Amino acid sequence: MILPEGIREDLDVGLKELAGKYGVSIVVIPGANWNDDLTPWPAEGVFKKTKPFGGQATSFLDKLTNEIIPEIEKTLGMVDPERTIMGVSLSGLFAVWAGINTDTFINIISISGSLWYDGFVEWMNEHAPSSQIKKVCMLLGEKEKNVKDKRMATVEERTLAAANIMKSKSHATVTFELVEGTHFSPILPRLERAFEVVCER
């Protein structure tokens, strides 16, 4: 789970409850450079005076899969676990991108994913998801498209397009849902719904 820094502490109790309810281990991965590590290629920033996106996702994915995850699983004593990658906003974009670029994960959760990102849906059309992917869950606030920025305003149509690409190019069960609220708020009900989707047998 890769979360925006501002919401990690607020979710501490809620995440522990979810872990117990669904019988999973939840690990929050800190330390990502949000605008650089989670974006697949460079692009302009979305707001005035903000720096461009760095497009360093390949390097971060390599570190995640070859260093961070093995160390976590060794510490927790895990053997051949079923891994789910979950992200919010830009890390939701990264989660989908990672599910196409590695066989590490079985499930993908993208909450309010930044799938409006320049060229991303077009890129998905040219690439197949990992054959390991079993479930994909994409949740988006029903008000997220109501923003002034023209790029971000395409998030609903582009997330739906991404979900349809996943359906057509994989054998995964793909869930796309519009839920109450704005950009990843309220977050806890979305996390709960995402766990329901990927943990359902």
pLDDT digits (tens, 9 = 90+) for 119-128: 999 999 999 9
* pLDDT of amino acid 25: 95
| Residue 192: Cβ-neighbour burial (10 angstroms; 0-12, 13-18, 19+) | middle
Question: How many CA atoms, within 13 angstroms, populate the side-chain half-sphere of residue 117?
Answer: 28
What does residue 110 show for φ and ψ, rounded to 5 degrees?
Answer: -125, 110
Residues of the chain with pLDDT under 70: 9
What pTM value is reported for the model? 0.96
| Residue 3: Cβ-neighbour burial (10 angstroms; 0-12, 13-18, 19+) | buried
Contact in structure between 160 and 124 (CB atoms under 8 Å): no
* pLDDT of amino acid 13: 85
Q: What is the dihedral of CA 72, 30, 3, 59, to 10 degrees?
A: -90
Residues 6+ apart with CB under 8 A from 70: none
> Domains in the chain, ordered, with CATH?
5-32+82-199 (3.40.50.1820)
